Structure formats: structure tokens, C-alpha cells
Structure 1
Amino acid sequence: MSPTIFLTAGHCTEAPAAKVEIWFDADVDAGRPGNGYPYTGQTGGTPYTHPQYNPNAFFLYDLGVVVLDPNRPMPMSQYGALPKQDVLDDLARRRGLKNTTFTAVGYGLQRINPAFVEAARVRMFSTPHLVQINVPGQTGDFSILLSNNASTGGTCFGDSGGPNFIGDSNVIGGVTSFGKNGNCAGTGGVYRVDRKDDLDWLATFGLFPQP
């Protein structure tokens, strides 16, 4: 989100986590020493979790940030941007939710079924469609469901905390939060970051929506 702030899911920053290491390589596996994970990332810092986060109902406030170490900023030509408050509600009023797409990014499992698991620490992206939003008992007003299928792709285990950009913009509508089944099929849950409590908390880190 900035040279010093990294956005992720709350369940990726919750206690007892005290330190976070972050990689941005397209293929984290390439060049790593032996079979050991490269424990020192390109940057890293201190994790913070949404103050209302509860691990027993993590999906309600599943938001976290990492404040990067002062001597390890991450300069980039462009950063993700926060959405305006309640902007995703506009999508609920549109006809044809399937025509609304997101760009989901992560390093998680690429394929899973009872007989086969394909896992590699390779950054992938997909363009899932909006399936549900503002549905009592399903998404509530705190999350959305995006498609997970062979046509659109989707997210799976290990993608948690990754951004879900609105369309092909740099505006982050939410972070990957949960799956609905063990095969990562059907739909994937995304925690919205356009609600007032989220934006107010992120403002304490100096993050604000674009004008």
C-alpha cells in the first residue's frame, strides 16, 4: 500500500505472530537454498491485526497490516489503493453480477482434489466473477463471494491475505479470507476493506482512499 505498509488478512497477523517476512518474487521457490524456506524476505516488519478481530469468528474482521522495518522499505512504481467507503455496495445494485470481475493475486495452491495437490510458491492471478454480496447468512455486509472454477480461476489455500483488485484497477476491494470447501471449488470468500471500521483503522497507519 506504501513503501512501509503491507496489507493482508487478520488471520495472517494474529497472535502469536510477532514478526513477518515478505517476498515479492514471481517464483519464491527459484534459487532458494536446498529444501529450506528462505526465512529472510525482501522486506519484513511488525504485524498488526484489526482491533475487533476474533480468531473464533475470524471472517468478521479479517484484516491485518504489516508495518515494515524502517531500514527495509519497499519502493515500487505503483501501490495498491484503498476503495472509497461502501463502494462495493454499488455492485450489489447492478444487474448481472457475473459481469463484475476482480483480479485475485496469491501464492497458494494451484490445484487440489482428493487425488492430486499442486503446490508451488509461484505468484499467480485469476479474474473471478462476483457471485454474492450483501446476502444475510452468507456474506453479510463484511465479505463477498467470488467464483472459483476452471473458467475464471480463483483462490485456494495459501492465498490468504492476497489482494482482490476491482476489475483491472489498482483499487483493492478486499483480501482473500476463506474457502467454502476443501477442494477450493465453487466460490472463495473475500473480506471487504470498504467498510468504515476498516478504513478508520487503516487511517491510523496513514492509509486513505483515493480522492
Structure 2
Amino acid sequence: MVAKDADGTPMWRCSGTLISPTVYLTAGHCTSGATTVEVWFTADLEAGFPGNGYPSTGEVAGTPYTHPQYNEAAFFVMDVGVVVLNAPVVAAAYGTLPDENALEALARVRGRQDQTFTAVGYGLQQANPVFVVAERIRMSASPRLVQINSGLTGAHSLLLSNNTATGGTCFGDSGGPNFVGTSLVIGGVTSFALNGNCAGTGGVFRLDRKVARDWVLSMM
């Protein structure tokens, strides 16, 4: 997706998931401050748009909405938004929300480091502040659960692995889904990184918490 201001000027790009024919789920920091949004579903952007990787006009436009409790100063606490599309998009399947508090079970399971997610997005493959590596070639990865219900994550986030061994997310993946295992259940949306190299661990905003889940369902 491309977020645009009131003048139609592109501001930033994010990723997301169709959860119904007219509702596109993403992060709150992707919708906050935007007036309109353009969304497209091209499988291979590199081939379709050589040179810049992303178009500024999508296949369908929509209106962005951000959770009413979103706070820019602490965006990661309620980092969820949706785009209501101007026209329905028919897909073979749609992402689904987890049951309320469904991810709590992961905190009680031994060997939780073996729990994998499927992270999807149109972000960078990696980022290097010296050489400015920016290859938009990775559309999915299989990060592993690192932390849940910790002092760092609180009750609202997960930390997943971001490294060359297990994959992960990077700039441009914000708002993209982190499916539980290989299912279509969206455990959370990509929210933040802990360093500028897109390495180590990445933060995911949980969608199984009632306050977030209920709002998304109300928008459907």
C-alpha cells in the first residue's frame, strides 16, 4: 500500500492483508496521518515496475482508519489500522484474526523457540547503513518466536527473529501479516525493529488482544 496526504502526494509504503473483500488490515503507523491509500496485489513488483519497485497508483483505493487508542508517541502499544476499500477485491482466501488471547498458549509451551510464523510483505531484504543495501526481493520469511509476555514486549507485542538464518522483516514490511505457522491466522502485524539493520529481532503487534481484535471486527 501507498499512503497519501490530502493533496494526493505519496508519503510512505507499507504492507498488509485482505481480511475481507473490502477490508485491508495493516499497522496503525501506516494509516495514521494518511488521507487516502492506494493498494495493489501484484505478485512480483520488481518485474512489473522495474527501476523504482513500487507504483504510486494501486489497483484499488481506500480510506484509512486507525485504532482510536493509537498514540504516535507510543505507537507500538496499539499499532493497528485498516483500509476500507472503495471496491471489493475477490480472493481465493482471506486472512483471519486469531481467537481472543489465542497466543497466550505460546507463553506456556516448552520449546517455544520452535514456533514459527510466516511473515509476508514487500519490504527490503536487508538494510546496511553503510552500503545502503535495498533489495526488494523477499516477500516472505519464517521467523521464530523469541519473546512473548516479557518486560520488553509487554502484553501487546511479540518479538520474532530477524536474521539471515531464520528470515524476518525489514523496512516496508510494516503492517504485513505474521501468520501463525503456515495457517492464514494473523497472529500480529509487523510493527517495529530494534535496530537499523533489520537484524536481530523484530516487533509484531498482537491481534489476539480483545481491544485490538474487537475494533478490527467492528470495521468489517
Match of 2:95 in 1: 80
Match of 1:90 in 2: 105
CA distance, structure 2, for counterparts of residue 94 and residue 36 of structure 1: 41
1:164 counterpart residue number: 178
Q: Is the 8 A contact 1:133 1:144 kept in 2?
A: yes
For the 8 Å contact 2:45–2:53, the answer to whether it is kept is no
Q: Distance in 2 between matches of 1:202 and 1:132?
A: 24
Q: Which runs of 5+ in 1 are unaligned?
A: 207-211
User: 2:32 aligns to what?
Assistant: 14
Give the direction of change, closer, same or farther, for the CA distance of 1:35–1:176 in structure 2 (3 Å limit).
Answer: closer
When the two structures are aligned, how many residues end up with a matched partner? 202
C-alpha RMSD of the superposition: 1.6
The amino acid of 1:4's aligned partner reads T
Tell me which moved more, 120-129 or 156-165: 120-129
Q: Aligned partners of 2:51, 2:66: CA distance in 1, in Å?
A: 33
Residue identity over aligned pairs, in percent, reads 64
Match of 2:208 among 170, 189, 194: 194
Aligned partners of 1:44, 1:126: CA distance in 2, in Å? Answer: 27
Runs of 5+ unmatched residues, structure 2: 1-18
Structure 2 match to 1:2: 20
How big is each residue's C-alpha offset from its partner over 1:146-186, in whole Å with a ceiling of 9 and x where there is no partner?
00111111101111000000000000000000000111111
**Cα shift at 1:27:** 2.1
TM-score under structure 1 length normalisation: 0.90
TM-score normalised by length of structure 2: 0.87
Q: Does the 8 A contact of 1:10 with 1:64 survive in 2?
A: yes
Aligned to 1:32: 49
Distance 1:148 1:32 in 2: 27
Deviation at 1:200, TM superposition (A): 1.3
Match of residue 49 from structure 1: 66
- 1:41 is aligned with what amino acid? G
**Of the candidates 132, 138, 141, which is equivalent to residue 147 of structure 2?**
132
